[in-house]
Amino acid sequence: MDGSYGETLRAVMRVRDGAAPAETFDVASAGEWLAFDAGVRDLGNRPWLLSRASEEPGRPGGEPGRPAGEPGRPARTLLDRLRGRAGSKAAPPAAPSVPDAPAIALCHPDGRVREAALDAVRTAPELRPLLVVRCADWVAPVREKARAALAELPGDALFSSAELILRLSRRARGDFARTLLEDALREGPAAEVLALTAHPDRATYRLAYRIAVERGLLTPMELAATAATCGDVTLQDLCAEAAVRPGATPDPDAAAVLDRLLAARAPRVRAAGVTALRRAGRHGDAEPFLVDRSGVVRACARYVLRQGGSDPLPVYRGLCAEPAAHPAAAAGLGECGDRATDAGTLWALLGHPLPAVRVHAISGLRALDVVERERLTPLLDDPSPAVVRAATRALLPDAAGIPEHLLRERSAPDRPRAVRVAADRLLRAAGLRGRPAPGYR
């Protein structure tokens, strides 16, 4: 199925006509099963379409394309079913006809049909995904019978439906199958758990990694490598913290694990590695990270140095004397410096020829809370877009104090894009963006 409603209904009709689900859609996809279930239910207004046998012309007691029934009695409409009537004439409720295809019956709009069809799953393992769906059914008898059947299955039978189980767990009644899956992962073969860590679904691989960490199935170096290379921030935190957990790493490998984390691209992973330097007794190794591009990593480095008895402030002051080698030293100086002593150094760095130094100097001024609108406004015309963006962020709290005509001039079409964007942001912050420019008629 391509996700469209029409394609879903075509798949439903093919299964109704005898095709196996695997022949009509991707049975490895949780979304395809949920779409199939919804597609069958959407045919509730046309019940004659759910039974292949009912389409045979000349069937006694019915019309071509209509379900069989008592002579002269019209087919049950949706309103009839909702009112518990067998047809448009008042009569006791009639038992619904069961579709020929078990997959169709398991998704049938009538709860009695779904409940009866659950027996077919015992001999049809390929329909277990629909058994999982029925565990979150809105009809209690269907739900309880499905849950009893699912609980009888071996734990490893749930692994192939992990994505579907986790998607259904977001529903009001979907927690039962998730509990079974988590128990199976905690008790099942390690190879199955590790295989799910490579699953493309985010919720699935996150759960697999969490269980793998709980069970100790991954070495600290494997955890560090995952934290350093994956793009999922939740996984980065989980694996980085587990890799440096006390007692998790044998002494010969501890240094290699830390070095792997310290070399990661993700700031949160580097921060975990820097913080772990304190526990490893490597306080001095945190000094290079005082000038990390990430403020979080710089803060962790200052903490580790202080725990080791060193003051990072003199280091920052020395580095700011030659800022080109370490541009982020200007930001670090603002984060731990003194207003009276260090603000002048940062203001002087706004004239440095290297854009990175100017950017970090602005960040340092913001950290020291010594931003002056008149001295920063000229940087809105800086040739570096990064500097313009940094100056804009610093000026936003005081945007109302910037003369309107200065911002209007910088929003002209002939100005560089970064300058125009900055002017628009400041105009909005000052509440002037929707107001006509002065002199407009």
229-284 per-position pLDDT tens digit: 999 999 999 999 999 987 655 566 888 999 999 999 999 999 999 999 999 999 99
Contacts 24+ apart (CB under 8 A), 244-247: 244/220, 244/272, 244/273, 244/275, 244/276, 244/279, 246/279
CA distance 383 to 262: 34
What does the pLDDT average to over 194-215? 96
pLDDT reported for residue 98: 56
pLDDT reported for residue 7: 85
Q: Which residue has the tokens 């240094």?
A: 255
pLDDT reported for residue 46: 64
Structure pTM?
A: 0.80
CA distance 73 to 93: 13
Q: Which residue has the tokens 């002209």?
A: 412
370-381 per-position pLDDT tens digit: 999 999 999 999
**Which amino acid is present at 379?**
L
302-339 per-position pLDDT tens digit: 999 999 999 999 999 999 999 999 999 999 999 999 99
CA distance 180 to 147: 10
What does the pLDDT average to over 62-91? 42
Nearby residues of 19 by Cβ (< 8 Å), 6 or more positions away: none
Cβ atoms of 217 and 187 closer than 8 Å: no
CA distance 272 to 297: 8
In Å, what is the CA distance from 229 to each residue of 89, 149, 239, 356?
68, 41, 11, 26
CA distance 167 to 35: 13
